[in-house]
């Protein structure tokens, strides 16, 4: 279980521009972090990943502490073992799909990394993309590669920052099914950020809604099938 209890203020020219003050626990399935643009969703992901540092509080994943201000603990990004799927996918433009995925693998040896990449290409039924570079892929295909690369490192948690914002409605529906499949198959907890109410309603066994930096709703659903 992920627990996040942090405060973070952003100051510009001496004035407080935005303040985040959140306290929540996320279950081991797909947790949807929802809210309008500017609510603080991406900031929460960056704090969990270690890209940003809280001003105060704690972040823990199961028995591992990522951040604890009182004990002056701030685990480096590379030691948190977090998979991150960015909104723009952040794929290397000069690498093929297979090479992009292999880059995410933390195992030693080129052959082992490529074997891991091929395993994930097969898992997502995208073997045909193996030799394509990102410019030769659709938005949906790039999203699949980005998710596969995030999983290649065998992370303890995967963070997805509005990963479907650039794809059409039909592709979005298919990708949501694949995200659910990937989480069920790997048993890795996912934190999924969206401002899209339809996506929020479709995904996740837990919904946390933010507004201007605070949690305004936290719901856990035992049976998602009855809600979709």
Q: Output the pLDDT for position 87.
A: 83
Beta strands in the chain (DSSP E): 2-12, 15-26, 30-34, 56-61, 64-68, 73-74, 82-85, 157-161, 190-194, 206-211, 214-220
Going from N- to C-terminal start, the domains of the chain cover 1-81+167-228, 87-155
| For the chain, percent of residues with pLDDT exceeding 70 | 95
Judged against a pLDDT cut of 80, whether residue 166 lies above it is answered with: no
pLDDT in tens, 40-92: 999 999 999 999 999 999 999 999 999 999 999 999 999 999 999 988 888 99
CATH fit for domain 1-81+167-228, picks 3.40.50.300, 1.10.1740.10, 3.30.70.980, 3.40.50.2000? 3.40.50.300
The two structure tokens encoding residue 21 = 């003050």
Q: What is the helix, strand, coil percentage profile of the chain, to 5?
A: 35, 30, 35
pLDDT in tens, 102-133: 998 888 889 999 999 999 999 888 999 999 99
More confidently predicted of 16 and 194: 194
Judged against a pLDDT cut of 80, whether residue 224 lies above it is answered with: no
Kind plus residue range of the DSSP H or E element containing 219: strand 214-220
Q: Output the pLDDT for position 211.
A: 94
Judged against a pLDDT cut of 80, whether residue 221 lies above it is answered with: no
Average pLDDT rounded to a whole number, residues 162-187: 87
More confidently predicted of 191 and 225: 191
- Summary mean pLDDT of the chain: 90
Q: Output the pLDDT for position 223.
A: 53
pLDDT category at 220 given cuts 50, 70, 90 is confident
For the entire predicted model, the pTM comes to 0.90
Q: Output the pLDDT for position 6.
A: 98
């Amino acid at each position: 279980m992920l627990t996040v209890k942090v405060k973070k203020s952003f100051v510009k020219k001496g004035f407080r521009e935005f303040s985040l003050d959140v306290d929540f626990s996320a279950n081991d399935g797909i947790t949807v972090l929802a809210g309008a643009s500017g609510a603080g969703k991406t900031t929460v992901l960056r704090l969990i990943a270690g890209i940003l540092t809280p001003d105060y509080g704690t972040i823990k994943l199961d028995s591992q502490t990522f951040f604890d201000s009182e004990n002056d603990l701030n685990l480096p990004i590379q030691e948190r073992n977090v998979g991150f799927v960015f909104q723009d996918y952040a794929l290397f433009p000069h690498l093929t799909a297979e090479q992009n995925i292999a880059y995410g693998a933390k195992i030693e040896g080129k052959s082992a990394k490529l074997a891991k990449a091929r395993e994930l290409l097969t898992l997502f039924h995208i073997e045909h993309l193996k030799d394509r570079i990102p410019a030769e892929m659709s938005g949906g295909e790039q999203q699949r590669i980005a998710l596969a690369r995030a999983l290649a490192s065998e992370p303890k948690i995967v963070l997805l920052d509005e990963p479907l914002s650039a794809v059409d409605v039909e592709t979005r529906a298919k990708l949501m099914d694949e995200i659910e499949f990937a989480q069920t198959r790997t048993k890795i907890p996912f934190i999924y950020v969206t401002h899209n109410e339809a996506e929020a309603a479709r995904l996740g066994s837990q919904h946390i809604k933010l507004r201007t930096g605070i949690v305004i709703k936290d719901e856990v659903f035992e049976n998602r099938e009855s809600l979709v």
